[in-house]
Amino acid sequence: MKHKLETFVNFPIHDFDLTNYVADKRSSRSQLYELYALTNHFGGMGSGHYTAHIKLLDENRWYNFDDSHISPINEDEVKSAAAYVLFYRRVKSDASAGNAASSGRVRDRTFYKH
C-alpha cells in the first residue's frame, strides 16, 4: 500500500492574491482571499482522524474542532503538515464593497457576519 505524504506545504492565511489567475484583468473586484477554515487529516491512507480549524469572524479568533471538543487556538497554530482542505473567502476591497452596495447585491452571510 502507498504511504500518505506528510510534507508541510506553506499556504497563505491572509492576502492570498489570485489576480494573476483571473481572465478579466479589468475587473474592479478584489481578488484577495483569506483563509477562514481548514480540515486536517491525521493518520494513514486507509484510516485516520479529521479535525477542523475554523475562524469565527465575529470574534476574529481561531478554534480547533476535534470531535466533541472545541478549543481556541492561536493563528500560528493553524498551519501544519496535516492540513488537508483549505477554505478561503474573498476579501472585499473598499471599492468593490461600494459597488456591491450601490448595485443592490446582498452578500451571502451563511457562514460569517461582518
Question: pLDDT band at 89, cuts 50/70/90?
Answer: very high
Q: Where are the beta strands (DSSP E) in 14-104?
A: 16-17, 32-43, 48-56, 61-66, 69-73, 83-91
Hey, where are the domains in the chain?
Answer: 35-94
CA–CA separation, 81 and 40 (whole Å):
8
What is residue 94's predicted lDDT score, i.e. its pLDDT? 60
Burial class (CB in 10 A: 0-12, 13-18, 19+), 38: buried
pLDDT, tens digit (0-9, with 9 covering 90-100), for 36-63: 999 999 998 888 999 999 999 999 999 9
